[in-house]
Structure 1
Amino acid sequence: MLVTWIRCTVVDRRGFERGQRKWAGLLGEPGFRGQGGGWSRTRPDVAHVFGFWESRAFYDSFMARSHDGLAAAQSGTYKDIECKLFGHRFDIKTGFEPHFADADVVRVAHCTVREERVEHFALMQQKVWNPAMAGSPGMVRGAFAEAPGHEFLVLSMWRSAAEHGKYRADRVERLSLLAQTESDITALSGDVVELDPQWTV
């Protein structure tokens, strides 16, 4: 499965939201699995959109044919856009499906990992982070995905911001030490995204 992550700085919020609803046109695209997104909880002008495709080939075909027509509705509503593609590597919890209806927030973490530490980083995700998240109240599902250049995306869906906040407060520092995260990564950025049900396709 291919995971796409799009992050925009928005200058016309209402226009952007109107345009975002036009992405319902993705339904019926070959290989399309689902899309959802919303606004950053820390930066109100930043929007995140997460898309899921069966393969890169289906995604490339969509980009060549239909993408520009759908994207035109949002032209001029944002000032910068970053789109990154990741290959799904494994689930956090079990049976990941790109559904958003039972979650209120998505935590996204984007990590750049030292080349010689890639396998250690992935192993710690499986042995330390995934069980801790899977066992936390309010954590619904998640995915761990990889891009060329030793980049990783960790997506976790939560029933509420409060439940995600409690997990962070209780456990993240201790888990980081246990997983030796600082030895693995050269860069880490992330956000908590308030999902907008109208953006779900």
Structure 2
Amino acid sequence: MLVKWIRCTVVDRRGFERGQRKWAGLLGEPGFRGQGGGWSRQRPDVAHVFGFWESRAFYDSFMARSHDRLAAAQSGTYKNIQAKLFDHRFDVKTGFEPRFTDADVVRVAHCTVRADRAEHYTLMQQKVWNPAMAGSPGMVRGLFGDAPGDEFLVLSMWRSAAEHGKYQVDRVERLSVRAQTDVDIVAITGDIVELESTWTV
């Protein structure tokens, strides 16, 4: 599965949200699996959208045919758009599906890892981080993906911001030490995204 993560700064919130609803036109596109997103909790003018496709071939076909027509509805409503593609490597918890209806927030973490530590980082994700997240109250589902250039994406869906916050306070520092995260990672950026139900396709 291919994961697309889009982040942008919105300059016309009402226009952007109106345009976001037009992405319902993705339904019926060959290979499309689902899409959802919402607003950053830290920066209220930043929007995140997560799209899922069966394969790169289906995605490329959509980009060549229908993308520009659907995107036109949001023209001029945002700036500083960044879009990144990741290949789904494994689930956090089990049976990841691109569904957004049973979660309130998504935690997105984007890591650039030292080339000689990528294997270790991936192993620690499986052995340390995944079991801890999967066992946390309120964690619904998640995935781990990678992209060329030793870039990785960890996406986790939570029932509430409070439950994710409790996991962060209780466990993250201890787990980071155990997983040697500081040794593996060159750069990390992340956000907590409040999901908007009207953006779900």
Which structure 2 residues correspond to residues 10-159 of structure 1 after superposition, within 5 A? 10-159=10-159
Give the deviation of 1:58 after TM superposition: 0.3
Q: Distance in 2 between matches of 1:114 and 1:79?
A: 30
Structure 1 counterpart of 2:60, which letter? Answer: D
Answer yes or no: is 1:183 the counterpart of 2:176.
no
Gaps of at least 5 residues in structure 2 are none
Structure 2 counterpart of 1:62, which letter? Answer: F
Q: Distance in 2 between matches of 1:79 and 1:180?
A: 36
State the number of aligned residues.
201
Give the deviation of 1:79 after TM superposition: 1.4
Give the deviation of 1:80 after TM superposition: 1.5
Give the deviation of 1:197 after TM superposition: 0.4
4+ runs of 1 displaced by more than 3 Å? none
State the identity as a percent: 84
Q: Distance in 2 between matches of 1:79 and 1:85?
A: 19
Answer yes or no: is 1:161 the counterpart of 2:189.
no
Q: Distance in 2 between matches of 1:5 and 1:17?
A: 17
TM-score w.r.t. structure 1 length? Answer: 1.00
Structure 1 counterpart of 2:33, which letter? Answer: R
TM-score w.r.t. structure 2 length? Answer: 1.00
Give the deviation of 1:171 after TM superposition: 0.3
